[in-house]
Amino acid sequence: MRFDDAGYFSRIMKHSRKLIFICTGSDCKKAGAKKLYKELKEITAQAPHRGSCKFIKTKCMDMCKTAPNVIVGDHFCKKTTAEKVLMEIKKS
């Protein structure tokens, strides 16, 4: 068994939670990022999403014209809402 294989640990250690990055820069805050964060936390605290997501607040993502911005997996959600983010969570 080779432990120097780059994908070895990713195959063994599966992420049990999806990582969701929420921009909390000034423009995103003005566009409702704080409210969006609270909504998403409340929704995902209930079944069937309970424990499936980890929310990470970030500093400015430099995409201020499309605020609020959220990254779900490798997808950027621009000018987003809680519903759009939940749809993307289901897809990923």
Nearest to 20 by CA among 79, 83, 63, 69: 69
- Tell me how many degrees the CA angle 72-77-83 measures, rounded to the nearest 5: 85
58 phi/psi in degrees, rounded to 5: -120, 165
61-87 pLDDT tens trace: 999 999 999 999 889 999 999 999 999
> So what's the pLDDT on residue 1?
47
Q: Is it the case that residue 7 has pLDDT exceeding 60?
A: no
pTM exceeds 0.85: no
Nearest to 58 by CA among 20, 22, 18, 19: 22
Nearest to 31 by CA among 74, 77, 73, 86: 77
15-66 pLDDT tens trace: 578 899 999 999 999 999 999 999 999 998 888 878 888 999 999 999 999 9
DSSP 17: S
> So what's the pLDDT on residue 72?
93
> So what's the pLDDT on residue 64?
95
